[in-house]
């Protein structure tokens, strides 16, 4: 049910809603309990509890001038706003604000693809444009361009980029914020600003050079609360001539160390797209003798694991390498990769996997992992869905996404640290299993670091289970912080705790950001608490959840 903004009476709030209706029309202001319920966090770890973040209502403009007027009215009535693009940022808060009582500024009606330039490989879009929308726009015009998309494809190009979301092709494009170029922003006072070359009137290079002149401010709007982004440019991939993938497998556990070193070299040299690690030995954990070993010791030492791997004839690790480029180039890069890996790792074996020349046929795409080819989809929701193996699926999940250095030693150490720290807590992932083991594999969305990701379950009707999930998440954040690691994004429930981990020199980073926030947004109108940055009027709302 809707709640009022802090320190705003019902009469004042009603007056503000009336003014918002004058701007966007009666049908685009939402204040009934039934309407507001749709803006709740579908995966909230506090569903139905006092700690659940609840919006006070929503307003949906269709053009930037309406956004400006809404922001000015919000300042007049001291009604805080929480901008969303499509509100599909599940596991990280969805459409719900950081502070209960905040009014959602729903930008989904601003859904125009403003420009796609095939020769210069960029797009300019509004926040309501989804990855499906941009992909379809490109396909309908027969442009030889690819997008890089996350899971799932219904999310916003702008919203995902601003939350530093990630994809699956080559390193330069997987980092969606890193591949953006130029923004249009409504500032907290209602003024309109363009960043980079867009600040030059009549500029034709807005999507070509993102830095412009002087300090670069775009980062303030990434996981930030310094304005409302109403347009954004993004760089696109020219369609490659060919795609090739191959698999390298290595026999011993500590072979992961040279494997990561060589794969890092290949990726940092722009030879490969996203590398995908897996553990063939872990896939055989239910077969003897590995099953018997794990029954005696759930985290055996390296020598024991190597002995069992050799006995079973199963590699300890494997990595899929993906190549994009010219038809002859991808073959040459695969040969180079095999040579370097064979020199570095005795016993490494190789498997030619897939090869396609572009454009792919519909049948080829249908049988593939679509995100590797820039094709948005919703296949991610098959994970954790109702099945024979999972007859009672959970209602949602939180993602713990911890950044660690991209070396084999660091990953093996982190695997053991989390295993030891969480033993005895009964922490479970969304499949009802203990998430840490010797066979944990690193996630590789980022080009320069590994991510340890764990999905923790959330429920609509089990408050006790949600309380356990919150305790597990809080403990994982503490374990990471104690080891010099932290998350790169988080659900609103935990953003204060995560930001608190960035505490060098008595939290000087947070203090600096809040100094800027108070200067740019003295009324605290835009997304109070977003990213753990609280404006003066609401700073007492900061919390560290447990």
Total residues belonging to the chain: 546
Matching residue, tokens 């490989």: 121
- Residue 180 DSSP SS3: strand
Listed in sequence order, the residues at least 6 apart from 11 whose beta carbon sits closer than 8 Å to its beta carbon are none
Closest CA to 5 of 496, 538, 492: 538
Q: In the structure, how many helices (H) and strands (E) does the chain have?
A: 16, 18
Matching residue, tokens 């949600």: 466
* Given 109, 254, 338, 488, the catalytic residue: 488
Q: Are 359 and 142 in contact (CB under 8 A)?
A: no
Matching residue, tokens 């095999």: 338
Beta strands in 267-348 (DSSP E): 276-278, 317-325
* Given 69, 489, 510, 542, the catalytic residue: 489
Q: How far apart are CA 117 and CA 207, in angstroms?
A: 10
* Given 39, 82, 92, 459, the catalytic residue: 92
Helix 492-501 with 504-520: angle, nearest 10 deg: 130
Rg (CA), the chain: 24
Cα–Cα distances (Å) from 433 to 235, 430, 437, in that order, read 39, 7, 10
- Where helices occur in 25-105 by DSSP H, the ranges are 33-37, 64-77
Q: How far apart are CA 161 and CA 537, in angstroms?
A: 28
Sign, CA dihedral 228-230-235-236, equals positive
Listed in sequence order, the residues at least 6 apart from 46 whose beta carbon sits closer than 8 Å to its beta carbon are 52, 53, 466, 470, 493
Q: Are 462 and 49 in contact (CB under 8 A)?
A: no
**Tokens (6 digits) for 80:** 């805080």
Q: Are 233 and 176 in contact (CB under 8 A)?
A: no
- Residue 36 DSSP SS3: helix
Listed in sequence order, the residues at least 6 apart from 283 whose beta carbon sits closer than 8 Å to its beta carbon are 439
Matching residue, tokens 């009666």: 26
Cα–Cα distances (Å) from 331 to 216, 239, 324, 379, 438, in that order, read 40, 17, 10, 30, 34
**Is residue 488 annotated as a catalytic residue, yes or no?**
yes
Cα–Cα distances (Å) from 155 to 132, 369, 412, in that order, read 8, 18, 33
**Is residue 448 annotated as a catalytic residue, yes or no?**
no
Backbone angles phi, psi at 323, to 5 degrees: -125, 135
- Specify the DSSP element, H or E, that contains 59: strand 57-59
Q: Are 259 and 311 in contact (CB under 8 A)?
A: no
Q: Are 127 and 67 in contact (CB under 8 A)?
A: no
Catalytic residue ranges? 92, 488-489
């Amino acid at each position: 049910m809707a709640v009022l903004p802090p320190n705003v009476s019902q009469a004042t709030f009603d007056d503000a809603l009336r003014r918002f209706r004058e701007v966007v029309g009666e049908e685009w202001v939402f204040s009934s309990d039934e309407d507001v319920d749709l803006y709740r966090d579908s995966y909230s770890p506090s569903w139905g509890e006092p700690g659940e973040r609840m919006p006070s209502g929503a307003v949906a403009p269709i053009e930037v001038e309406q956004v400006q007027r809404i922001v000015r009215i919000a300042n007049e009535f001291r009604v805080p706003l929480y901008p969303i693009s499509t509100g599909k940022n599940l596991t990280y808060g969805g459409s719900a604000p950081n502070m209960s009582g905040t009014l959602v500024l729903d930008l989904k009606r601003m859904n125009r693809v403003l420009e796609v330039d095939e020769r210069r490989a960029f797009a300019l879009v509004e926040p309501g444009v989804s990855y499906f929308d941009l992909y379809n726009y490109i396909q309908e015009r027969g442009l030889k361009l690819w997008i890089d998309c996350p899971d799932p494809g219904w999310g916003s190009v702008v919203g995902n980029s601003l939350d530093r979301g990630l994809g699956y092709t080559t390193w330069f494009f997987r980092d969606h914020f890193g591949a953006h170029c130029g923004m249009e922003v409504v500032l907290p006072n209602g003024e309109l600003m363009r960043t980079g070359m867009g600040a030059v009137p009549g500029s034709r290079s807005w999507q070509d050079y993102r830095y412009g002149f002087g300090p670069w401010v775009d980062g303030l709007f990434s996981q930030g609360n310094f304005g409302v982004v109403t347009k954004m440019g993004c760089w696109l991939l020219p369609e490659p001539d060919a795609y090739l993938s191959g698999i390298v497998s290595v026999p011993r556990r500590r072979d992961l160390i040279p494997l990561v070193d060589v794969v890092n070299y290949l990726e940092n040299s722009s030879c490969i797209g996203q590398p995908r690690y897996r553990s063939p030995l872990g896939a055989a954990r239910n077969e003897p003798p590995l099953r018997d070993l794990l029954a005696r010791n759930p985290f055996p030492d390296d020598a024991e694991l190597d002995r069992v791997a050799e006995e079973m004839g199963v590699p300890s690790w494997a990595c899929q390498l993906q190549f994009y480029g010219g038809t002859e180039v991808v073959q040459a890069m695969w040969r180079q990769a095999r040579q370097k890996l064979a020199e570095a790792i005795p016993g490494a074996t190789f498997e030619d996997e897939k090869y396609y020349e572009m454009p792919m046929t519909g049948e080829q795409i249908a049988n593939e992992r679509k995100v590797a080819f820039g094709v948005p989809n919703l296949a991610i929701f098959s994970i954790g869905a109702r099945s024979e193996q999972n007859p009672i699926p959970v209602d949602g999940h939180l993602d713990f996404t911890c950044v660690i250095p991209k070396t084999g030693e660091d990953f093996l150490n982190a695997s053991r640290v989390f295993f030891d720290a969480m033993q005895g807590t009964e922490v479970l992932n969304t499949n009802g299993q203990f998430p840490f083991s010797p066979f944990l594999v690193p996630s590789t969305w980022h080009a320069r670091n590994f991510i340890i990701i764990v999905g923790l379950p959330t429920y609509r009707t089990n408050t006790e289970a949600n309380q356990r999930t919150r305790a597990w998440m809080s403990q994982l954040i503490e374990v990471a912080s104690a080891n010099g690691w932290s998350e790169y994004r988080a659900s609103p429930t935990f953003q204060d705790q995560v930001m608190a981990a960035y505490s060098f020199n008595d939290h000087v980073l947070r203090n600096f950001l809040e100094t800027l926030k108070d200067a740019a947004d003295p009324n605290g109108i835009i997304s109070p608490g977003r990213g753990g940055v609280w404006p003066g009027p609401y700073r007492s709302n900061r919390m560290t959840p447990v």
